[in-house]
Structure 1
Amino acid sequence: MRNILVASLVLLLSACASGARTGSMVVPFSPEKNIEEGHPVREAVQVGGVDGGKETNALWTSQISNESFKDALEQTLALHTMLAENDARYRLDVELVELNQPFIGLNMTVKADVKYRLTDTTDGSVLFDEVFHSEYTAAFGDSLLGSKRLQLANEGAVRNNIQLILEKLIGLGNAIDQTASVQIVLGH
């Protein structure tokens, strides 16, 4: 009986790793992040290349693939009416620079460093090229399985990172809008 209990416990705690789920990395819509008609980044951003991600090996640790990161970013931009359907004014290229993961732990904190480059497609100028830092902790209470906690922490760290770029795009759009208003006033 004791051997069965030990074997069951080992099986429970050694579940296979799963990759990050796209839907869990999407930043939910919030009214305070709503993009109004006429905002410079409204329906004006396309996601270019996404690099630096890794495919998950079920026998090792949860990872974030380029494809799932790109899908989560595009879904977030679409929810916040920033994603361009066709000819985009801006191209956002992404590089997952580092995904700092714990090897083991009760609470698992993942830190994500992601580089975003926003290019104006009309003239090729780079509006920003920055690394954004984020983290997320999945607590022991979130899942008994270490591999699941790592997956949750990965998803949360990337979701928080996408939240940061979303805020940057909104702020940049406001700055572009104010610059255009100043130019119009000064031009008269």
Structure 2
Amino acid sequence: MMRRLAAAALTAALMGVAACATPSNPANMTLPTTAGLTAARGDPGYRSVTSVAVSGGQGTNPLWTSQVSNADFKTALEASLTAAGYMGTEGRPMRVSASLIDLKQPLAGFDLTVTSRVRYTVTREGQTVFDDTVAATGTAGMGQSLMANERLRMANEASIRENIKAFLTRFRARAH
């Protein structure tokens, strides 16, 4: 009887540890330098973004599901803008605001797909130069992790990274 009780307690403890949600990692949400999305000297916005503001995110509750916090999203967006040649003080100052409207996550599954919707607003000297809502998806499969919470975190990160990529693609297209 004692062995069964101990085994049940150990199993419950291991399941509790295995079910812990972890927050998103900004490095995994950062878009690296990408051909066709990198600004060069003379391009509109080149090294002109002086500030980034992010809202709408939420911290991860370890007992629930992985989320994307404002701080982690901001870090990833700033690093992505830096890699793309937009962060700096060389041009007319621009401000980027990103509002995470929705992070649509599945309840369960083998391959988990997350869709993020973010409204980006870029202003220069009080004038709006870009204002659009971008939706993007990211997927993490069983081959990436057997733990559903880890797959969800990876899908969150992939979705935000793809969202930033779509934002930069649209911004570049409209800025030229």
For the Cα contact (< 8 Å) 2:45–2:91, is it kept in 1? no
Deviation at 1:126, TM superposition (A): 1.2
Deviation at 1:76, TM superposition (A): 0.6
TM-score by length of structure 2 reads: 0.87
For the Cα contact (< 8 Å) 2:57–2:70, is it kept in 1? yes
Q: Aligned pair 1:46/2:59, yes or no?
A: no
| SS at structure 2 position matched to 1:103 | coil
Deviation at 1:88, TM superposition (A): 5.3
TM-score by length of structure 1 reads: 0.82
1:128 corresponds in structure 2 to 130
1:17 corresponds in structure 2 to 21
Provide, for residues 37-88 of structure 1, a one-character-per-residue CA deviation record: whole Å limited to 9, x for no partner. Answer: 1112110123432110000011110000000000000001111111024885
Residue ranges of structure 2 left out of the alignment (5+ in a row) = none
**Aligned alpha-carbon RMSD (Å):** 2.3
1:32 corresponds in structure 2 to 36
In the comparison of the two structures, how many residue pairs are matched?
171
For residue 142 of structure 2, the aligned residue among 140, 143, 147 is 140
For the Cα contact (< 8 Å) 2:116–2:136, is it kept in 1? yes
2:165 corresponds in structure 1 to 163
User: How far, CA to CA, are the matches of 2:22 and 2:89 in structure 1?
Assistant: 31
2:153 corresponds in structure 1 to 151
Identity of aligned residues (%): 32
Provide, for residues 143-167 of structure 1, a one-character-per-residue CA deviation record: whole Å limited to 9, x for no partner. Answer: 0000000000000000000001111
Q: Aligned pair 1:172/2:174, yes or no?
A: yes
Deviation at 1:113, TM superposition (A): 0.4
User: How far, CA to CA, are the matches of 2:17 and 2:139 in structure 1?
Assistant: 19
